[in-house]
Chains A and B, each alone.
Chain A
Amino acid sequence: MTIHSVFVVNRAGGLIYQYDHNMPKIEVEKTFSYPLELVLKLLDEKVVVAFGQRDGVKVGHTVLGINGLSASGRQLEDGRDILETIADEDNYPIAIKFGRPKLTVNEKIMLASMFHSLFAIGSQLSPEPHSSGIEVLETDVFKLHCFQTMTGIKFIVLTDLRQGAVDGLLKKLYEVYSDFALKNPFYSIDMPIRCELFEQNLQSAIEQAERTGISNI
């Protein structure tokens, strides 16, 4: 029973709140000898594995560091280019740390607005009349639950496959939003939520849902 993260999207598709609760950290460090069996490529200013999954290193993982030095973008801490360092035979054996790239704030905003339109298309392509948008989206490792209020605000929760009673949690989050964001005189509607009480109550609702998994929140 795990709740990974929460997104709140306003009626225009803008991300107004995001909270990562329980995100698994995926990192693998391995020592390689020359030549490197993995194929790396540059994607969005990050060095990404393009081919050659092995020992927990998956396609799509980025280089997080080399020989203990951490990477920032395509460069290492000391300013060396990652691809050049890896191409140079003199640097071997080399210890490279790989991991699943974390979402940046900009990416989160983009994904939230992407879901906003997918939600609308899901309802338009319905074979039955009067369909809502996407309520549950399922993959082999996580589920996305979405609740849209009458006023068009979407609460999106990412959970693992076994988490139960997410509907109750979504309703509870809406309640927390109406009590602690909307009633806050310093909060302007449709803008990012920066309210301390909202945050505290949201976190405790999530923790409780994770512990019990029953809708008695």
Chain B
Amino acid sequence: MTVFNLYIFDRNGTCLYYVEWNRKKHSGIASQEEEFKLMYGMIFSIKSFVNRISPSDLKDGFSSFKTSRYKCNFYETPSGLKFILNTDLNVGNIRDVLHQLYSNIYVEYVVKNPLCELGQPIKSDLFKTKLDEYVRNLPIFATKTN
């Protein structure tokens, strides 16, 4: 099991934070900015797609998708903050992990830090360290031996 990368977007589509751990392939897109836009656009479209195609009324809506190589886990807060964590396929439902990331890391070290401007990419080193520490200690973060 392993964790590849994490995106945090705000409700306007600004990428607040991006970090990667065991990522092997970078999408052939030259600029990282463009990749953030593509990611946000995909999630935005999936959300509206799912809302429309769903046979019954949704509560939380879209939670994850899988391809043959990775799983993309999605969590959105009512304020529109989006957490996207890409993991390998053996990871189960990690909604609570993403919620912890929001309530214990984002709220504690960004919202409660008056020097962090909301709606702007996060520069706080404390946030970076705490987030990295939290993710590395997750049971799903076991670096592959091969």
Please give the residue numbers on chain A whose beta carbons come within 8 Å of chain B beta carbons, in ascending order: 4-5, 23-24, 26, 58, 60, 100, 103, 107, 111, 114-115, 117-118, 121-142, 144, 158
B69 adjacent to A128 (CB under 8 Å): yes
Which one, B25, B55, B61, contacts A140 given CB within 8 A?
Answer: B61
Contact with A along B19-61 (1 / 0, CB 8 A): 0101111011000000100110110011001111111111111
Is B23 touching A138 in the complex (CB atoms < 8 A)?
Answer: no
**Is there contact, CB below 8 Å, between B49 and A115?**
yes
Given contacts A138-B65, A140-B58, contact A118 B52 (CB under 8 A): no
**A157: shortest Cβ distance to chain B, in Å?**
12
With A and B bound together, what is the CA distance between A117 and B25 in angstroms? 20
A118 partner residues in chain B, CB cutoff 8 A: 42, 45-46, 49
The yes or no answer to B9 lying at the interface (CB within 8 A) is: no
Name the interface size band of chain B: 35 or more
Also in contact, A131 and B38, with CB within 8 A (given A137-B50, A141-B56, A141-B58): no
Asked if B45 and A135 make an inter-chain contact with CB atoms under 8 angstroms apart, the answer reads no
Q: How far, in Å, is B44 (CB) from chain A's closest CB?
A: 11
Assess whether A24 is in contact with B56, with CB atoms less than 8 Å apart: yes
Q: Which residues does chain B contribute within 8 Å of A23, judged by CB atoms?
A: 55
A-B contact count (CB 8 A): 122
* B66 and A140 contacting across the interface, CB-CB below 8 Å: no
Given contacts A125-B35, A142-B54, 5 further A-B contacts (CB under 8 A): A4-B55, A60-B57, A100-B57, A127-B5, A141-B57
Q: How far is the CA of A131 from the CA of B59 in the complex (A)?
A: 30
In the complex, chain B residues whose CB is within 8 Å of the CB of A111: 49, 52-53
Query: With A111-B49, A137-B65 given, is the CB distance from A127 to B70 under 8 Å?
Result: yes
B70 touches A128 (CB 8 A): yes
B52 to chain A, nearest CB (A): 6
Q: What separation, in Å, do the CA atoms of A125 and B60 have in the docked complex?
A: 24
List the A side residues contacting B25 at CB < 8 Å. Answer: 126-129, 131
Q: Is the CB of B67 within 8 A of A139?
A: no
With the chains together, A127 CA to B5 CA distance in Å? Answer: 8
Q: CB distance A127 to B23 under 8 Å?
A: yes
Pick from B22, B51, B54, B67: contact of A126, CB under 8 Å: B67
12 CB contacts below 8 A, A to B, read A4-B55, A60-B57, A103-B52, A118-B49, A122-B42, A126-B69, A127-B5, A127-B24, A135-B67, A139-B63, A142-B54, A142-B55
